[in-house]
A and B are shown apart, each in its own frame.
Chain A
Amino acid sequence: MDGPRDPLSSRAWRALTYGVPLAFLAIFFLYPLAAIVERGLFSGGESSALDVITDPVTRDVVWFTVWQAVASTALTIAVAFPATYVLGRFAFPGRSVVRAVVTVPFVLPTVVVALAFLAILPESLERGWIAILVAHAFFNVAVVVRVVGTFWANLDPRVSEAAATLGAAPMRRFVEITLRLLAPALAAAAAIVFLFSFTSFGIVLILGGPRYATLEAEIYNQAVRIFDLRAAAVLSLVQLACVALAVWVTTRLEARLAVRGQLRAERDVLRKPRTLGEKAIVLGGIGGLAVFLGLPLAVLVERSFAVGDGHSLEAYRALARPTAALLATPWEAVVNSIVYAGAATVIAVVVGGLAAFAVAGSGRRSRGTRLFDGALMLPLGASAVMLGFGFVIAFDRAPIDFRSAPWIVPVVQALVAIPFVVRIVAPTLRAIDERLRAAAAMLGASPGRVRREIDLPIVTRALAIAAGFAFAISLGEFGATVFLARPDRPTLPVAIFRFLGRPGEQNAAQAYALAVVLMAVTAVSVFLAERIRLRRGGWI
Chain B
Amino acid sequence: MLRADDVNVRFDGKAALDGVSLDVGDGEVVTVLGPSGSGKSTLLRVIAGLQRPDSGHVLLDGEDLSSVPPHRRGIGLVFQDHALFHHHDVAGNVAFGLRMRGDAKNEVESRVRELLDLVGLAGFERRSVATLSGGEQQRVALARALAPQPHVLLLDEPLGALDRRLRDRLLEDLARLFEELRVTALYVTHDQAEAFALGDRVAIMRSGRVVQAGSPDGLWARPADEDVARFLGLGNVRDGAIVRPEAVTVARAANREAADGVVESAVRHGPTVRLRVRLASGETLDAAVSALDHPDPGDLVAVTIDPEGIIELP
Contacts and interface: CB of A to CB of B under 8 A. Distances in A.
| A and B are interacting partners | yes
B50 A164 contact: yes
A429 B77 CA distance: 45
Nearest to B154: A165
Given A259-B86, A261-B87, A167 B97 contact: yes
B79 interface: yes
B70 A162 contact: no
A500 interface: no
B48 interface: yes
Given A158-B79, A260-B130, A261-B130, A164 B86 contact: no
Given A172-B100, A260-B130, A261-B130, A164 B83 contact: no
A181 interface: yes
B101 A165 contact: no
B267 to A, nearest CB: 35
A165 B71 contact: yes
Interface in A151-165: 156, 158-159, 161-165
A173 B73 CA distance: 16
B87 A165 contact: no
Interface in A139-176: 156, 158-159, 161-170, 172-173
B148 interface: yes
Contacts of B86: 181, 259-262
Contacts of B147: 166
B87 A181 contact: yes
Contact of B100 (A158, A166, A262): A166
B145 interface: yes
Chain A interface category by residue count: 20 to 34
Contact of A156 (B83, B101, B128, B150): B83
B110 to A, nearest CB: 18
A238 to B, nearest CB: 37
B48 to A, nearest CB: 5
A175 to B, nearest CB: 12
B101 A161 contact: no
Nearest to A272: B12
Nearest to A274: B52
A177 interface: yes
Q: Which of B71, B74, B101, B148 has the most CB atoms of chain A within a 10 A radius of its CB? A: B71
Given A158-B79, A180-B87, A165 B145 contact: yes
A159 B85 contact: yes
B68 to A, nearest CB: 12
A165 B100 contact: no
Interface string B72-100: 11111101010111110000000011001
A177 B85 contact: yes
Contacts of A165: 48, 50, 70-71, 73, 75-77, 145, 150
Nearest to A257: B87
A166 B87 contact: no
Contacts of A156: 83
Nearest to A166: B97
B83 A166 contact: no
Given A165-B48, A166-B144, A158 B83 contact: yes
A499 B162 CA distance: 71
B79 A259 contact: no
Contacts of B148: 166-167
A143 to B, nearest CB: 24
Interface in B231-261: none
Contacts of A262: 81, 86
Interface in B21-57: 48-50
A-B pairs with the 7 shortest C-beta distances? A261-B86, A166-B97, A167-B100, A158-B83, A164-B70, A260-B130, A162-B83
26 contacts: A161-B48, A161-B79, A162-B79, A163-B71, A164-B48, A164-B49, A164-B50, A164-B69, A164-B70, A165-B50, A165-B75, A165-B76, A166-B76, A166-B100, A166-B147, A167-B74, A168-B71, A168-B100, A169-B69, A173-B71, A177-B85, A181-B86, A259-B86, A260-B128, A261-B87, A261-B130
Interface of A: 156, 158-159, 161-170, 172-173, 177, 180-181, 259-262
Given A167-B74, A173-B71, 4 more contacts: A162-B83, A165-B73, A167-B100, A169-B69
